[in-house]
Amino acid sequence: MARKSEAERRQELIAATINEIGSTGTLNVTTSQIAKSAGVSPGLAFHYFQDKEGLFLAAMRSILSEYGNDVRQALRGKKTADERLEAIAEASFGMTSFRREAISAWVNFYALSLRSEPARRLLYVYQRRLHSNLVDALRPKIGVRAPDVARRIAGLIDGLYLRYALDTRSINVIDAETHQLDGAEGSQHVMRAIAAECAEISENDVISTEQVDPDPTAILVGPQE
């Protein structure tokens, strides 16, 4: 009965949660499974988290902040617009996000956010951050068109991720050392799309002029309490 600090235990339980979601591919994981995977007794999970949803939300925060750290680190030192865009794209398809557990967690958290308001809010934060990162990097290249284009690029990143996520091959390939392969393909697609959007003659307006200036993240915003 080794005793550990609250922070340690919480972290272990969160990691175990993500692992179990990863290996079962679903949120239908029992607290006992999670506890066992964390090497603790079934009751302990409820000492550190209010209930199962609390555990899920903590796991979600963990995944999101992991991704956030990846992006931040990738951006470090990148000066040119293209470098920064590539950093974002690569972080989105990097090893961290492409672990089997991370994929399973992402997809299941999307589903969770349909029934859990807190979960929805967390995803909203992620979406806003991604959009804002993209706008910052795009603005030097295309100015006022950045927010509009950023929406499409953000959508493309999510969509491609989802497609690769369901392609079991990419997961296996990761396991087999060539880890960057599929991720690289994903980020190349993203860079290609960015190139196309930026090359275009910027005569045309943005899709919806009205909402682009006042609130660049309009379409991502849900009803705020």
Partner DNA sequence: TGAGTTATTGATTGACGAGTCAATTAATAA
Partner DNA sequence: TTATTAATTGACTCGTCAATCAATAACTCA
44 binds a second copy (CB under 8 A): no
* Neighbouring C-beta atoms of residue 130, cutoff 10 Å: 23
Contacts of 173 (CB under 8 A, 6+ apart): 179, 181, 182
d(CA 210, CA 100): 41
Tell the smallest beta-carbon distance from residue 29 to DNA (Å). Answer: 6
220 binds a second copy (CB under 8 A): yes
d(CA 13, CA 55): 8
* Positions 39 through 98 that interact with DNA (CB under 7 A): 40-44, 46-47, 51-53
- Return the residue of 200, 209, 213, 215 that touches a second copy, per CB under 8 A: 200
Alpha carbon separation from 136 to 33, 79, 88, 107, 200 (Å, rounded): 43, 12, 11, 27, 19
Taking phi first (over 0 means left), then psi (-120 to 50 degrees means alpha), and beta for anything else, what does residue 223 get? beta
* Positions 125 through 154 that interact with a second copy (CB under 8 A): 127, 148, 151-152, 154
- Return the residue of 76, 143, 168, 176 that touches a second copy, per CB under 8 A: 168
1 binds DNA (CB under 7 A): yes
Judged by CB under 8 A, how many residues of this single chain contact a second copy?
Answer: 56
Positions in the binding site for a second copy (CB under 8 A): 24-28, 103-104, 107-108, 110-111, 113-115, 120, 123-124, 127, 148, 151-152, 154-164, 166-169, 172, 185, 188-189, 192-193, 195-197, 199-201, 204, 207-208, 219-223
